[in-house]
Chain A
Amino acid sequence: MLTRIKTTSKDWLLRAKNNRLFISTLSVSIFVILWEVLPRAGLVDVSYISQPTRVLAAAFEEMFVEGVFWGHLYVSFIELAVGFILSLLVGIPLGLMIGLFRKARYFLDPPLMALWSTPRLALIPIFIIWLGVGVESKIAVVFVGSFIPIIVNTVAGIRDADISVIQAARSFCAKKRDIVIRILLPTSLPSMMTGIRLGLGRAMMGMVVGEMYVSTKGLGYQIMQYGEAYRMDQVIFYVAFVSLSGFAITNSARNLENRLLKWKEG
């Protein structure tokens, strides 16, 4: 039975919020129920689409009975973390340099633009030739995917700098270093954060696809292995895990962004 919340017209905002939560929950529930019921009713072949209960059972088995899940998670995590941290370490300073120095921009623009317009996943075979089928080639894929949006957005952030603020800083005897650290860095922060968030999404994609291409371990590797064996329950578990954790990671990045940039809202 649905509980009907008593509201006055003033509570329309609250009501809209409740409505949204309710309707969204409803849509998910309907999907899950149909997914469970349709194969049971014999309307769809369960080996094609699996079932929520089967996926949960597969999850339980992978995580706790056989326990193989954790090893693959660890490998994927290392690839993602190392590749992404590298892209921060390279992307932010490079972005700042390009944003600050015209000559650096002229010098670095061509190679970066070339890389920007290359489908990065097409580089996977090259990385495998160079770095082997292990963790290293995946780190490279993650890195290449995520450092370019970080650079591009950092540069854009510096270009956003307000001339009148810089002039004011100079008027108060700010040195060049002060202008870079106290004005340009904070100015570019919002856009830089957007770049980091976009980079994170691409990093995850690079990780999974890289593992699916050639590897010996990792979440993507598992998806590929189970896929080739037509084991739909396990495939869906791993895909769902990747997409949910991706959602969680980008969401927390967005939350962090909003918290750091409180001054932007009026």
Chain B
Amino acid sequence: MAHVSVDSLKVIYKRPQDGSSFVALEGISLTVEKGKFVTIVGPSGCGKSSLLLAIDGLIPPAEGHILVNGKEVTAPGPDRAMVFQEFGLLPWRTVLGNVRFGLEMHRRKEIDLDDHAMKFIRLVGLDGFENYHPNQLSGGMRQRVGIARALAVDPEILLMDEPFGALDAQTRENMGDELLRIWNQEKKTALFVTHSIDEAVFLADMVVVMGRGKIREILNVDLQRPRTLETKDTSNYIEYRRRIRSNLRD
């Protein structure tokens, strides 16, 4: 059974001011197998973030269905956790407090929350910073807090909305490697939204190419793992990239 399956999804945004509406997604169908890394790529405003928010249960479908483990998604659940583009950290809480937040919301009482949170702070390489507040950290570090917070609740599915969007190119590449390492270790299903074609191909088992609220193409990426800098020089990689770029152009 597919881990995540989206069936003819339509999402409409309504503006409360004038009642006008805007179709963000239409006719989206997609199947994600367990443990796969799926990237969703497309230009700004193509609906890729909306797709992720809908799968997380933050916005309701106007038509169609979203199933996780065969069950209809109606609200956020503990089987999914999201990493946000703007981090979504609580500025009055420390790094430790932020990583604890998800656990507190899930009412996890059987474990020592501080211990558990620290484990994930170490995993993302932020040990020593657990008592810092978010605005004392760089963008890359904040995003690691967001990733640690999501991983700490032990979701089956990790949803990431342009998590590296706010980072510079160098940090971005390092974080990508780091993310693959963590993903490999934690065996999660991952859905990763990006507007970078490079990032999309480098990370993915499957690339979903989107434009104007519709899926243009779904591409299986058959590249050896673990992926390294050399991967980017292989002819297969270059071919995938070229194909996505030409698809996005027309």
Residues 75-93 of chain B, each 1 if its beta carbon lies under 8 Å from chain A, else 0: 1111011101011111111
Interface 9-residue window, one of B40-48, B99-107, B209-217, B227-235: B99-107
Asked whether any CB of chain A lies closer than 8 Å to the CB of B26, the reply is no
Residues of chain B touching chain A, judged by Cβ–Cβ distance below 8 Å, are 56, 58, 75-78, 80-82, 84, 86-93, 101-102, 104-106, 133, 135-136, 149, 153
Residues 200-242 of chain A, each 1 if its beta carbon lies under 8 Å from chain B, else 0: 0000000000000000000000000000000000000000000
A120 CB → nearest B CB, Å: 33
The 4 closest A-B pairs by CB, nearest first: A168-B88, A172-B102, A172-B105, A164-B86
Asked whether any CB of chain B lies closer than 8 Å to the CB of A165, the reply is yes
> Which chain B residues border A165 with CB–CB below 8 Å?
88-91
Asked whether any CB of chain B lies closer than 8 Å to the CB of A186, the reply is yes
Taking a contact as CB atoms closer than 8 A, the residue among A162, A168, A264, A265 that contacts B82 in the complex is A168
Please provide the chain A residues from 250 to 266 with a CB less than 8 Å away from any CB of chain B in the complex: 262-266
How far does the alpha carbon of A183 sit from the alpha carbon of B89 in the complex, in Å? 10
How far does the alpha carbon of A168 sit from the alpha carbon of B91 in the complex, in Å? 13
Are B90 and A183 within 8 A (Cβ)? yes
Are A264 and B91 within 8 A (Cβ)? yes
How far does the alpha carbon of A133 sit from the alpha carbon of B136 in the complex, in Å? 54
Are A173 and B105 within 8 A (Cβ)? yes
Are B105 and A167 within 8 A (Cβ)? no
Q: How many positions in chain A have a CB within 8 Å of any CB in the partner chain?
A: 21
Are B102 and A266 within 8 A (Cβ)? no
Query: For the complex, would chain B's binding face be called helix, strand, loop or mixed by DSSP majority?
Result: loop
A-B contact pairs, 22 of them (CB 8 A): A162-B88, A164-B88, A167-B84, A168-B82, A168-B84, A168-B87, A169-B101, A169-B105, A170-B58, A171-B56, A172-B106, A172-B149, A173-B106, A182-B90, A182-B104, A186-B90, A189-B92, A263-B91, A263-B92, A265-B135, A266-B135, A266-B136
Query: For the complex, would chain A's binding face be called helix, strand, loop or mixed by DSSP majority?
Result: helix
Are B76 and A170 within 8 A (Cβ)? yes
A194 CB → nearest B CB, Å: 16
How far does the alpha carbon of A189 sit from the alpha carbon of B91 in the complex, in Å? 12
> Which chain A residues border B92 with CB–CB below 8 Å?
186, 189, 263
Residues of chain A touching chain B, judged by Cβ–Cβ distance below 8 Å, are 162, 164-165, 167-174, 178, 182-183, 186, 189, 262-266
Are B133 and A173 within 8 A (Cβ)? no
How far does the alpha carbon of A178 sit from the alpha carbon of B92 in the complex, in Å? 15
> Which chain A residues border B104 with CB–CB below 8 Å?
182
How far does the alpha carbon of A266 sit from the alpha carbon of B146 in the complex, in Å? 19
B24 CB → nearest A CB, Å: 16
How far does the alpha carbon of A264 sit from the alpha carbon of B75 in the complex, in Å? 32
How far does the alpha carbon of A172 sit from the alpha carbon of B151 in the complex, in Å? 11
B166 CB → nearest A CB, Å: 12
Known pairs A165-B91, A173-B76. 18 more at Cβ < 8 A? A164-B88, A165-B89, A168-B84, A168-B88, A168-B89, A171-B56, A171-B80, A172-B76, A172-B81, A172-B106, A173-B77, A174-B105, A182-B90, A186-B90, A186-B92, A262-B133, A263-B91, A266-B135
A105 CB → nearest B CB, Å: 15
Are B101 and A172 within 8 A (Cβ)? yes
A141 CB → nearest B CB, Å: 35
Taking a contact as CB atoms closer than 8 A, the residue among A164, A171, A173, A178 that contacts B87 in the complex is A164
How far does the alpha carbon of A174 sit from the alpha carbon of B90 in the complex, in Å? 13
Q: Using known A-B contacts A186-B92, A264-B91, determine if residue A171 contacts B81 with beta carbons closer than 8 Å.
A: yes
Which chain A residue shows the least CB distance to B134?
A263
> Which chain A residues border B153 with CB–CB below 8 Å?
172
How far does the alpha carbon of A195 sit from the alpha carbon of B90 in the complex, in Å? 22
How far does the alpha carbon of A162 sit from the alpha carbon of B88 in the complex, in Å? 8
